[in-house]
């Protein structure tokens, strides 16, 4: 399991095309506000078996592919800061859709 502190580091970590699966957070409350998402501690599983085990111990944040889509769509709109990405993630979590 990889621990990643803050969304800026998460963005940098996930710049690899082979990434897939779920992103987990340390606490369910880490999803509640944009500010909490920016500062959250994230976890990524090293393999499928570890991911299954993590589902029992950690709240899910987003699927990696959804997170990558948020980054891409935010960039198209000129919103590229970690705060912007966190805002896009928060919108997706609350509205179950990407923001315009």
pLDDT class of 17 with cuts at 50, 70, 90: low
- Beta-ladder partners of 43: 3, 24
Helix (H, G, I), strand (E, B) or coil at 14: coil
Residues 6+ apart with CB under 8 A from 38: 6, 7, 8, 82, 83, 86
Q: Using DSSP bridges, classify how beta strands 22-25 and 41-44 pair: parallel, antiparallel or unpaired.
A: antiparallel
Q: What pLDDT does 51 receive?
A: 95
Over 80: is that where the pLDDT of 19 sits?
Answer: no
Tell me the pLDDT band of 100, cut-offs 50, 70 and 90.
Answer: confident
Taking the CB of residue 94, how many other CB atoms lie within 10 A of it? 11
E strand or H helix that includes residue 9: helix 7-13
Return the pLDDT at 14. 87
- Tell me the pLDDT band of 95, cut-offs 50, 70 and 90: very high
pTM given for the model: 0.92
DSSP string of 54-78, one letter each residue: HHHHS-EEEEHHHHHHHHHHHHHTT
């Amino acid at each position: 399991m990889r621990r990643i502190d803050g969304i800026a580091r998460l963005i940098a970590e996930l710049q690899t095309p082979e990434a897939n699966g779920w992103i987990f957070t340390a606490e369910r409350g880490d999803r509640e506000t944009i500010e909490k998402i920016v500062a959250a501690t994230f976890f990524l599983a090293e393999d499928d078996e570890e991911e299954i085990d993590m589902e029992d111990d950690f709240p899910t944040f987003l699927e990696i592919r959804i997170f990558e889509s948020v980054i891409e769509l935010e960039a198209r709109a000129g919103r590229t800061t970690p705060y912007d990405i966190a805002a896009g993630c928060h919108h997706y979590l609350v509205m179950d859709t990407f923001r315009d």
